[in-house]
Chain A
Amino acid sequence: MQTKYLAKIFVTLRPSVLDPAGVAVQSGLQQMGYDNVENVRIGKYIELTITSNDETKARQDMNRICDQMLANPVIENYRFDLIEVETQTGVF
């Protein structure tokens, strides 16, 4: 039984990594009048649909996909949610 999952992936910078783009956004926010905002860090949000007949395998695939391509472990962390989108029954 093949199930389609929507994967929602958050790729974020490790806390120790300098984020000059985040600093630039923070100064922009200050110019907007928000001097109560600090620690702006910019990450990435990625969506994809993955099909599998086994949720555990889908999660294993997602870990590999995130670890090898979507995030660079030197500077980034990742986490993802898997949401069942569609299930197809039948014989393959």
Chain B
Amino acid sequence: MKFGVVVFPGSNCDRDVAYVTRDLLGQPTRMVWHQDTDIDDLDAIVIPGGFSYGDYLRCGAIARFSPVMQQVITHAEKGKLVLGICNGFQVLTEAGLLPGILTRNRDLHFICDRVPLTVESQNSPWMQAYNTGEVITLPIAHGEGRFYANQATLSEIEDNGQVVLRYAGENPNGSLNNIAGIRNRQGNVVGMMPHPERASDPMLGGDDGLRLFQGLLEKVAALT
């Protein structure tokens, strides 16, 4: 499975993602500079965490107009895989690939913690190595992670089973319905505030995040 990790000016979790896909999982991985417009060779695009464009104006608001993003939108429309982590999740909501928006944490603090999360749905290639109802632990590190959508959109997200991860313990940021990660209706695009790439090498204290990437490979292996 060929992975591409998008790099915007200000992205800083890109190499951690590549470490997982290329070094831990041995998958062909390349970094995709935000001005690259050829991503046809890639199966899965990851938009990593960080502070793209300094979080100026709104997190992800400017990154969304980078040349590569038009290709990512086309890639998603073709049903190919996209994952947005933290700032990547923010970029995906600004780009309209996922509903809602991520706003300032309710308590105004930047939260750096390991949190328990409930896997809500396996209805996505990204989630298939998890079990619905399972509780996993992933690190979070964000100041703008409060998920918000208006009542109508929120109901739609819930009714369609689009929530993939929910904060299981205390809600760290005030996200509506404790939402930590969602998928698009088709399931090929997922966004989440927690960092699975920081919980993939057990040497760092946990590896619950590895299965997010590993699950994709098992699907491909099962098909061949």
Binding site for B on A (CB under 8 A): 16-18, 20-21, 24, 69-70, 72, 74-75
Knowing A72-B94, A74-B101, the reply to whether A18 touches B61 (Cβ < 8 A) is no
Which chain B residue lies CB-closest to A23?
B108
CB atoms of A21 and B108 under 8 A apart = yes
In Å, the complex CA distance between A17 and B58 comes to 15
Which chain B residue lies CB-closest to A42?
B104
A42 to chain B, nearest CB (A): 10
Leading 7 A-B pairs by shortest Cβ distance: A74-B101, A20-B106, A20-B108, A75-B101, A72-B101, A72-B58, A24-B108
CB atoms of A74 and B106 under 8 A apart = no
In Å, the complex CA distance between A69 and B62 comes to 7
In Å, the complex CA distance between A21 and B174 comes to 13
Instruction: List CB contacts (< 8 Å) of B101-119 with chain A.
Output: 101, 103-108
B4 to chain A, nearest CB (A): 25
Q: Is B223 an interface residue (CB 8 A)?
A: no
Knowing A20-B104, A20-B106, the reply to whether A69 touches B150 (Cβ < 8 A) is no
Contacts of A18 in B (CB 8 A): 106, 148, 174
Knowing A20-B108, A69-B57, the reply to whether A74 touches B148 (Cβ < 8 A) is yes
Knowing A18-B174, A20-B108, A21-B108, the reply to whether A70 touches B149 (Cβ < 8 A) is no
- Give the A-B pair count, Cβ closer than 8 A: 34
Besides A20-B104, A72-B61, A74-B93, 15 new A-B residue pairs in contact (Cβ under 8 A), listed by A number: A17-B103, A20-B105, A20-B106, A20-B108, A21-B104, A21-B108, A69-B65, A70-B57, A72-B94, A74-B101, A74-B149, A74-B150, A74-B153, A75-B101, A75-B148
In Å, the complex CA distance between A69 and B103 comes to 16
Instruction: List CB contacts (< 8 Å) of B75-123 with chain A.
Output: 93-94, 100-101, 103-108
In Å, the complex CA distance between A69 and B61 comes to 6
Which chain A residue lies CB-closest to B153?
A74
In Å, the complex CA distance between A16 and B153 comes to 14
Pick the most buried of A16, A18, A24: most chain B CB atoms within 10 A of its CB. A18
Pick the most buried of A21, A24, A74: most chain B CB atoms within 10 A of its CB. A74
Which chain A residue lies CB-closest to B108?
A20
Pick the most buried of B93, B103, B149: most chain A CB atoms within 10 A of its CB. B103
Which chain A residue lies CB-closest to B101?
A74
Contacts of A24 in B (CB 8 A): 108
